[in-house]
A and B are shown apart, each in its own frame.
Chain A
Amino acid sequence: MTSLYFDRGKGERYRSLGCFPCTFPVQSTAKNVKEIIEELKTGKFANIAERSGRAQDAEDGGGLETLRKDGYM
């Protein structure tokens, strides 16, 4: 797995990956798979969408559904 998902010392990691101008990391100190699992189980992100760091989803009130009807993955 690419290391972008893990904290590499800056206290942040990507939860979802995309283009760099529109993708933002989450605050997290999880450095490996085990720590990500522990973090998810704490419920820290229970009310935060996995793709909340993907800025295009927030545009247009429902950006991703608009995109997906048009053939986006």
Chain B
Amino acid sequence: MTQLEKLESQSVYILREAYSQFKNLAMLWSIGKDSTVLLWLSRKAFFGHVPFPLVHIDTSYKIPEMIEYRDKLALEFGLNMVVGQNKQALEEKRTYPDGNLDRINCCKTLKTEALRNTLSGAWTRQRLNHQTRKYEPDANKEPYTGVIVGVRSDEEGSRSKERYFSPRDKRNDWDVGDQPPELWNQFKTEYAPGTHIRVHPLLDWTELDIWEYIE
């Protein structure tokens, strides 16, 4: 087995484990290379059909090609595509480009806050209608309890502290020092009511692995 085959097989295993353990499972798709590889792996893990919704947090400031690519692939792969957005902040111009927030607080507002309320179902999610090719309010308001994310250990310091199955508390906060050990592929997938688990199948992949896999 090559290194890439090992990584692929571990990621497929984690994806299937997550699917078997979580009733309300979703995957975050940022349209970047990592989560797009994750999408590809999910199709492989479930024989072409992705059995959970893909969630994109749209800040409205994404590079336009990203949104075009998102909708093109969603239609082509028949994805259950769900989009969340902090509409109120955008209407009130509480953003960095509007000059009213610094960059970090803009990320907090347009991404973290939007993510929290989209995952919990507190804010209406927009879902792609494959017939009309338009987004409409999603009737499903159930909180997602398992959330698959394409973060990698090597891309940035705090991400190297993640587990494959990393708990988040009721406020979506992450207590880095209090995470279960993961020995011999035994993963803790239980969670308290109102909390969720972040699932990271790409944790061991490097930037080079991602590009070699794409090739």
Contacts and interface: CB of A to CB of B under 8 A. Distances in A.
A42 to B, nearest CB: 11
A67 B157 CA distance: 13
Contacts of B26: none
A19 B142 CA distance: 28
Contacts of B104: 56, 59-60, 63, 66-67
A68 B174 CA distance: 7
B156 A36 contact: no
A57 B157 CA distance: 11
A33 to B, nearest CB: 5
17 contacts: A4-B66, A14-B63, A18-B62, A19-B61, A22-B106, A37-B212, A37-B215, A51-B155, A56-B104, A65-B157, A67-B111, A68-B174, A70-B112, A70-B173, A71-B112, A71-B168, A71-B171
B107 interface: yes
A4 B32 CA distance: 10
Given A56-B103, A56-B104, A56-B106, A3 B61 contact: no
Interface in B114-172: 115-116, 149, 151, 154-159, 168, 171-172
A73 B208 contact: no
Most buried by B among A16, A17, A73: A73
Contact of A22 (B31, B69, B103, B158): B103
Given A50-B156, A70-B174, 16 more contacts: A1-B33, A2-B36, A5-B33, A16-B155, A17-B30, A22-B103, A22-B106, A22-B107, A56-B103, A59-B103, A60-B104, A63-B103, A63-B107, A72-B107, A72-B115, A73-B28
